[in-house]
Structure 1
Amino acid sequence: MTRIDATFARLRAEGRKAFVSYIMGGDPDQATSLAVMKGLPAAGVDIIELGMPFTDPMADGPTIQLAGQRALEAGMTMDRVLDMVRDFRAGDATTPIVLMGYYNPIYSRGVDRFLAEATEAGIDGLIVVDLPPEEDDELCIPAQKAGINFIRLATPTTDDRRLPKVLQNTSGFVYYVSITGITGAAAAQATDVGPEVARIKAKTDLPVIVGFGITTPEAARAIASVADGCVVGSAIVKDIGAGKPVAEVLANVAALAKGAHSA
Structure 2
Amino acid sequence: MTARYEKLFTTLADRNEGAFVPFIMLGDPSPAEALDIVRAVVSAGADALELGVPFSDPVADGPTIQASHIRALAGGATVDSAIEQIRTIRAEFPDLPIGMLIYGNVPFTRGLETFYSEFAAAGADSILLPDVPVREGAPFVAAAKAAGIDPIFIAPARASERTLEGVAHSSQGYIYAISRDGVTGTEKKSETRGLDEVVANVKRFGGAPILLGFGISSPADVEAAIDAGAAGAITGSAITKIIDRHVSRETTTGAVDEDQAPGHIDDMDALAAELSDFVRGMKAATRKAAQ
How far the C-alpha of 1:105 sits from its partner, in A, is 1.7
Q: Does 1:254 align with 2:280?
A: yes
Q: What is aligned with 1:214?
A: 216
Unaligned runs of 5+ in 1: none
Q: How many residues align?
A: 263
Q: What is aligned with 2:93?
A: 92
Maintained 8 Å contact 1:209/1:230? yes
Q: What is aligned with 1:231?
A: 234
Q: What is aligned with 1:133?
A: 134
Deviating above 6 A after TM superposition, structure 1's stretches of 4 or more consecutive aligned residues are none
Once the two structures are superposed, the pairs formed by residues 1-263 of structure 1 within 5 Å of their partners are 1-184=2-185, 185-226=187-228, 227-243=230-246, 245-263=271-289
Maintained 8 Å contact 1:126/1:150? yes
Maintained 8 Å contact 1:155/1:177? yes
Q: Percent identity?
A: 34
Per-residue displacement from partner, 1:163-210 (whole Å, max 9, x unpaired)?
Answer: 212222111111111111111141113321112201211211421111
One-letter identity of the residue aligned with 1:234? S
Q: As a proportion of its length, which structure holds more helix? A: 2
One-letter identity of the residue aligned with 1:125? S
Q: Tell me the SS of whatever aligns to 1:105.
A: helix
Q: d(CA) in 2 for partners of 1:108 and 1:246?
A: 35
One-letter identity of the residue aligned with 2:236? G
Q: d(CA) in 1 for partners of 2:44 and 2:67?
A: 24
The TM-score, its normalising length taken from structure 1, stands at: 0.95
Q: d(CA) in 2 for partners of 1:79 and 1:205?
A: 32
Unaligned runs of 5+ in 2: 247-269
RMSD across aligned positions (CA): 1.4
Q: Tell me the SS of whatever aligns to 1:41.
A: helix
Q: Tell me the SS of whatever aligns to 1:138.
A: helix
How far the C-alpha of 1:158 sits from its partner, in A, is 0.7
Q: Tell me the SS of whatever aligns to 1:260.
A: helix
Q: d(CA) in 2 for partners of 1:105 and 1:136?
A: 15
Maintained 8 Å contact 2:155/2:163? no
Maintained 8 Å contact 1:96/1:124? yes
Give 1 or 2 for the bigger CA radius of gyration: 2
Shifted more, 191-200 versus 132-141: the winner is: 132-141
Shifted more, 142-151 versus 55-64: the winner is: 142-151
